[in-house]
Amino acid sequence: MSLLLKKANPLLKKTNGGAKTSGELIAEVTGGTNLVEDKQTWEYAESHKDDIEYMKRCCDAELRAMMTAGIVAAPFYFERVAILSRKQKNYHQEVEYSERYIQAVEGFYRMPGHERYADVRKGPRYKAVLKRLLKAKELLAANP
């Protein structure tokens, strides 16, 4: 059982009797590390997908939640930062956020017990971030 579930068992019901969402549980157990302006990161996925500053804040929240809740960070926000950075020709930022994500995920799966979690490294978004990183490094070298 994950650290999050152990801490959350007595918290599974809302005060009004309904079940809490996983995001609400994570926010409660981790002191809100997964929130951006008191909202779940997924709440910005569509409405702010073209706002690089919000996407960067979502990246930071995902990494904080990964460290405190023991859940792997969602790749969506890192892919969006990479895409938006490339559009701005900010290859340094694209490399930075792609590397941060890849290093964090690799570190997550090296931790004991995490090998039993679904492996996001096999998913298309993780692979897209990895592919973008390689191209961004080429672009950065060609455009210092």
Which helix or strand (DSSP H or E) is residue 140 part of?
helix 124-142
Mean pLDDT of 111-125: 88
Residue-range definition of the domain harbouring residue 121: 3-142
**What confidence score (pLDDT) does residue 32 get?**
86
Q: How many CB atoms lie within 10 A of CB 76?
A: 18
pLDDT tops 90 at residue 141: yes
Could you read off the pLDDT of 3-45 as tens digits, one per residue? 444 444 444 445 555 788 878 888 888 788 889 999 999 999 9
pLDDT tops 50 at residue 117: yes
| d(C-alpha 92, C-alpha 82), whole Å | 10
Could you read off the pLDDT of 53-109 as tens digits, one per residue? 999 999 999 999 998 888 899 999 999 999 999 999 999 999 999 999 999 999 999
pLDDT tops 70 at residue 1: no
**What confidence score (pLDDT) does residue 6 get?**
43
As beta bridge partners, residue 40 has 35
- The answer to pTM > 0.85 is no
Domain count, the chain: 1
| d(C-alpha 140, C-alpha 130), whole Å | 15
**What confidence score (pLDDT) does residue 16 get?**
55
Q: How many CB atoms lie within 10 A of CB 82?
A: 27
Q: Which residues of 38-53 are buried (b: 16+ CB within 10 A; e: fewer)?
A: eebbeebbeebbeebe
**From residue 35, how far is each of 8, 26, 84, 95, 105 by CA, in Å?**
17, 9, 22, 24, 19
| d(C-alpha 49, C-alpha 56), whole Å | 10
